[in-house]
Structure 1
Amino acid sequence: MRATATATLPWLVKRGVLVFWHELPRSVVVGVIGLASAVPLMASVIVAAPAWMLAAATVPPSLALTGMARFAAAAVCGDGPRLALLRRLDPVLALLLAAGLSLAGLGLASGGGAALAGTVGCAGLLLVFPYALAYGAIRGRYGLTALRGGAILVAFRPSWAFTLVGLGWLGGFAVAASTGVLAVVVLPLLLAITGVLTVALLDEVDALQART
C-alpha cells in the first residue's frame, strides 16, 4: 500500500497542476483576491505594528483561504468552479487558523521555551490546515469538524502532508524570488494540488471503511 501511494504521488501532483492550468484565468483572479486580503497583514509586518494589530490582520487572509479552498475543490471535483464560491467562507475555521498563526508567531518572538512551542505550533499548522481547508471544502464540513478531518488525513498518510509542506516552501521561495509577483499563481496552485491529494485520500479511506 505504501509503495503504491508513493508511486502515485507524482501523478496526483501533476493532476493538480493540470487542474490549475485548466482554470488558469479564474485561478489567477482567485490569487489576486487572496493576495489583496493579505495586504493588511503585510503592512502590519512592515511597520512593526503591535501584536494585537498583527493578530487582527491575520483574519482577512484566513477568511479568504476558506473561500479559495471552495473554488479549488470545485475545480478538482469538476463541478464548474465559479468566483462566487469565494464568498462561501468558513469563519470558524478561519478564526482557528488566525489564532494559531498569532499564537505561533507570539511564541517564536518570545524566545526560550515559547519559541520551541511556537515552532511546534507552526509545524502543526503547516501540516494540518491545508488538508483541513480542502477537506472542509470537498465534504462540506466547517469549523472544528473540518479541522478534525484534516488531522485524520495527516495521520492517515503523513508523507503526503510533508510533501505538501515541501511544495509550500518551494512556492514560498518562488514568491520571494519574484518579489511577490508569483503569489497570485502559487497559492491557487498549491490549493489545487492539496485538493487532488485530499480526494485521493478520502477515496482510499472510504474504500477501507467499506470493507469493514
Structure 2
Amino acid sequence: MENLTLPALTWSGATAFWHELPRTLTAGLVCVLSAAPLAAALLTGAPRALAFAAVLPIALTLTGLAAFTAPIARGDGTTLAALSRVDPVLALLLSAAGLALLAPWGVVPAAAVLLVGPYALAYGAVRGRRGLAAARGGVILAAYRPAWALTLTALTVLGAFAAAASAGVLALVVAPLLLTIAARQTTALLTEIDALQTGAARTGAARTGAARTGAAQGGAR
C-alpha cells in the first residue's frame, strides 16, 4: 500500500466494499438477524443480564463477518461461506463488555471494546489469529495509532446512529463497511510495523557485526 494516510485507506476500504455490494449486503442481513435475540430481550423487558447475554450471537457473527471482509479489503474475492469462520473465544471477550455494564464501572470495558474491538476483529481475520491473540493484536494496533482507533470508533458510533435513524435499513451496510475499512487499516499498520521491525533487526545485526569486527581488530593488535 503506497498511501498509508487514514482518509485514503478509509476511501479505498469503502471502494472495495462497494465492488462486493451484493455479497456484503447479504452478510449485513446475517448480522442484522443475529441481533434478533437482543432486540427481543429489550422489547419484552427481559432482565438486564439476559439482554446483555444476548450480545453473544452478535459478537459471534461479527467474528465471522471479519473473516468475510478481510479478503475484500485485500482486493480479493470472498464467499459467504467465510461467515462460518467464527471465533467463539474472541466473541466471548467482546460480549463480556455487555455483561460488565451491569457494574458501575462498566463504561470502561465498553469504551475499551469500542476502541479495540474493530482492530481485534480485523487483526484476527487478517493474520489468522484467534481468541486472546486476536484481542492482544487489537490492543497493540490501537495503542500504536490511537488517532486511527479513535477515528474508527467515531465512525462506528456514527454508523450505529445512522442505522437507528434509518429504521434499520442502513444496518445492512454499517457492519460490513466498517470491518472492511478496519481490515484495510489493519493491513496497512501491520505492513508498517513489520517494516520497522525488519529495519530494527537489520540495524541491530549491523551494530553487532561492527562490534565483533572491532573486538577482533583490537585482539589482533
Moved over 2 A (4+): none
Q: 2:77: which partner in 1?
A: 80
Q: 1:106: which partner in 2?
A: 102
Within the candidate set 42, 59, 72, 1:62 is matched to 59
Matches within 5 A, 1:44-63: 44-63=41-60
Structure with the greater alpha carbon radius of gyration: 2
Within the candidate set 40, 43, 48, 1:43 is matched to 40
In the alignment, structure 1 residue 145 sits paired with structure 2 residue 139: no
Q: 2:88: which partner in 1?
A: 91
Gaps of 5+ in 1: 108-113
- The range that moved more, 173-182 or 137-146, is 173-182
Counterpart AA for 2:178: L
Q: CA RMSD in A?
A: 1.2
Q: 1:111: which partner in 2?
A: none
In structure 2, distance between residues paired with 1:33 and 1:183:
10
Contact 2:49 2:102 in 1 (8 A): no
- Say which SS state the counterpart of residue 106 (structure 2) adopts: helix
User: How far off its partner does 1:78 sit?
Assistant: 3.0
User: How far off its partner does 1:193 sit?
Assistant: 0.7
Gaps of 5+ in 2: 201-221
Note the alpha carbon deviations across 1:157-202, whole angstroms, 9 max, x for none. 0000000011112111211110111100111111111111111100
Q: 2:204: which partner in 1?
A: none
Counterpart AA for 1:161: A
In structure 2, distance between residues paired with 1:77 and 1:101:
31
Note the alpha carbon deviations across 1:90-130, whole angstroms, 9 max, x for none. 01000111112221x213xxxxxx1xx22222110100011
In structure 2, distance between residues paired with 1:166 and 1:52:
27
Contact 2:118 2:179 in 1 (8 A): yes
TM-score under structure 2 length normalisation: 0.86
